[in-house]
């Protein structure tokens, strides 16, 4: 099985666990004299099996990510961390540029000469350029990760 397939199975297993959790909660109590909609104990046992499957997939995916290298010898785990931080950095720079430009803020323009003018404390064009560069890096990193996910075999 390829790593990408295991990632899809992991997402499906996580969704299944969440659905079972909701069903258990909905069936955990019922009115006296009424039968519950579903057998909560059976659902709980089913969820427990689904969680065991999820744990096994997560372990195998993590082991594969740590052992698999992508561009220039970087491990897949390192690339995932890099992509996560690039996304956070992009969000920070974009938010800073938006705030400095007055986007989505009231009072960006003054109505009267007696009102105080709002000035940007940051260079908006440079921040926008940096955000574009970060977006490019995110795309390149994500492409390398996705390519590796479809090429790498899942470890036991």
Q: What is the pLDDT along the chain (156 residues), one digit of tens a residue?
A: 999 999 999 999 999 999 999 999 999 888 888 888 899 999 999 999 999 999 999 999 999 999 999 988 899 999 999 999 999 999 999 999 999 988 756 545 556 666 777 878 899 999 999 999 999 999 999 999 999 999 999 999
What pTM did the predictor assign?
0.79
Q: Report the C-alpha dihedral over residues 69, 146, 71, 152, rounded to 10 degrees.
A: 30
d(CA 3, CA 5) in angstroms, rounded, equals 5
- Domain positions in the chain are 1-67, 69-151
Contact assessment for residue 57 and residue 13, using Cβ atoms and an 8 Å cutoff: yes
Write down the pLDDT at residue 104.
59
Q: What is the pLDDT of residue 37?
A: 87
Look up residue 132 and give its two tokens.
């574009």
3-state secondary structure of 2: strand
Tell me, what's the pLDDT at 102? Answer: 85
Q: Would you state the pLDDT for residue 111?
A: 61
> 4, 149 in Cβ contact below 8 A?
yes
Contact present, 83 and 73 (Cβ < 8 Å): no
């Amino acid at each position: 099985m390829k790593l990408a397939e295991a990632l899809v199975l992991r997402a499906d297993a996580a969704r299944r666990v969440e659905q079972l959790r909701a069903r258990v909660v909905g069936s955990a109590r019922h009115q006296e004299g009424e039968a519950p909609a579903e057998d909560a104990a059976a659902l709980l046992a089913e969820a427990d099996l689904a969680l065991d499957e999820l744990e096994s997939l997560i372990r195998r995916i993590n082991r594969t990510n740590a052992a698999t290298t992508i561009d220039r010898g970087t491990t897949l785990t390192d690339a995932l961390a890099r992509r996560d931080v690039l996304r956070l950095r992009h969000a920070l720079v974009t938010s800073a540029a938006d705030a400095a430009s007055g986007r989505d803020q009231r009072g960006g323009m003054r109505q009267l000469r007696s009102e105080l003018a709002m000035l940007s404390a940051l260079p908006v064009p440079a921040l926008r350029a940096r955000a574009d560069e970060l977006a490019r890096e995110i795309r390149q990193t994500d492409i390398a990760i996705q390519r590796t996910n479809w090429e790498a075999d899942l470890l036991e």
